[in-house]
A and B are shown apart, each in its own frame.
Chain A
Amino acid sequence: MYETNFHKAATAQEAAALLNASEDGKILAGGQTLIPTMKQRLADPTDVIDLSGAADLRGINISGDQVTIGAMVTHAEVAGHAALAALCPSISQLAANIGDPSVRHRGTIGGSLANNDPAADYPAAVLALNARIRTSLREIAADDYFEGMFTTALEDHEIITAISFTAPTQGGYGKFPNPASRYAMAGVFVAKSADGTVRVAVTGASEDGVHRHGGLEAALSADWSASAVDGVEISSDGLLSDLHGNAEYRANLIKVMTKRALG
């Protein structure tokens, strides 16, 4: 690992100030992506600003059907939150299946969304739930946030502070994990809101990262059932082909994972 200067921020505001003052600084959340990247010398930030002491980025808040999750909330905390599991079991189940127990004890929802790995789980939930990403500067709608593999609408020194969404009336997540890495080879999050709107987001499968699937949304709007998925054409255009599976295989996985998401 290259040399770096370590700072611990007590609040999001302090972190933003430290980040602005640094030459080429990076935020450190759970470190489950950043530390391995730095160890491999693929990242060499001049400064590392640790958010683990920022109490204002912690906590899960539920009021009626409104959910707010602080950026520094870990995957284990999301998975283990009883009131959230009662209101929105799909996101609890998603968090419980990210990586392994040690990764879930440190990895955070804010870090996962900032990183936007094309095979990460949370981006599918956030896009399907039509969530809002709150930052140190503004609020960003999920539809405007994800801009392709490892790319987001975040500006250089912008810090995610929280994620909020309205709990869906029905929802689920189906994931086919890569057996070695546990990341999604295809993950599909389906959500139906109180006004009947259906959103379907697919992660892991596409060259452009997480995306919505219009065909699946139309079919499930008309009929919220696994059999409705059968008639949907899933194109393999733009899907990933790698040693784990080709584009046609992933197109089929999207269909199967959608059915699993529907339970």
Chain B
Amino acid sequence: MKIAMTVNGKSVSRDVADNTLLVEYIRDNLRLTGTHVGCDTSQCGACVVHVDGKAMKSCTMLAASAEGAAVTTVEGLAKSKDDLHPMQVAFKENHGLQCGFCTPGMIMTATDMVARYQLEGKTLTEESIRHELEGNICRCTGYHNIVKSIADGASKMTSV
């Protein structure tokens, strides 16, 4: 079936099988390989993208369900190679990654959580960052620097 959506601001359309996952559409059909697959149990969060502005696991969704939606992947955050998103800058400056496998999902989860907290006028404490990261697994960092990066990124994201 033909599935059309907007990905990182560009209209795309591909002919794919009905059972294509959104993450397969993004990685295999659009060749946007920043979005990762780290598990087959919907638990690791490496595949998180934004669908119509909300964080979702692209491995736990059919591409067909995203027909007509606006999808943002990690490739869609930076304005250019030299003008990274504030959350990407924060991960870089705070050493929020080691191997980097979980990082795209962490950053997409982080930008979603900061946007939600700012919209609701709530403060993002260390405890709430840890609770919000429930669905993202990192096998390298021990999370401390990820939490630090997100707190720093949140303070840099005041105008998002």
Interface size class of B (residues with CB under 8 A): 20 to 34
Q: Across the interface, do B60 and A35 meet the contact criterion of CB distance under 8 Å?
A: yes
CB pair A101 B43 closer than 8 Å: no
**Pair A36/B56 contact, Cβ less than 8 Å:** no
Q: Hey, what's the 0/1 contact readout for B90-134 against A, CB within 8 Å counting as 1?
A: 000000000000000000010011001000100000000000111
Main secondary structure of the interface of B (DSSP, over half): mixed
A52 at the A/B interface (Cβ < 8 Å)? yes
- Docked CA distance A52–B22 (Å): 15
Is B41's CB within 8 Å of the partner chain A?
A: yes
The B-contacting residues of A in range 136-157, CB under 8 angstroms, are none
CA distance A29 to B43 in the complex (A): 19
Residues of A within 8 Å of B, CB-based: how many? 30
A31 in contact with B19 (CB, 8 Å): no
A6 lies within 8 A of B18 (CB): yes
Give bound CA distance, A80 to B113, whole Å: 14
> CB-nearest residue of chain A relative to B52?
A105
B18-A102 in contact (CB<8A): no
User: Could you tell me the distance between the alpha carbons of A75 and B46 in the complex, rounded to whole angstroms?
Assistant: 21
**A44 CA / B67 CA spacing, docked (Å):** 22
B18 / chain A contacts, CB cutoff of 8 Å: 3-6, 48
25 contacts between A and B (CB under 8 A): A1-B19, A3-B17, A6-B64, A31-B62, A32-B60, A36-B41, A36-B60, A38-B19, A39-B21, A50-B64, A50-B65, A99-B134, A100-B135, A101-B112, A101-B134, A102-B45, A102-B48, A102-B56, A103-B135, A105-B54, A105-B55, A105-B56, A106-B61, A180-B43, A181-B43
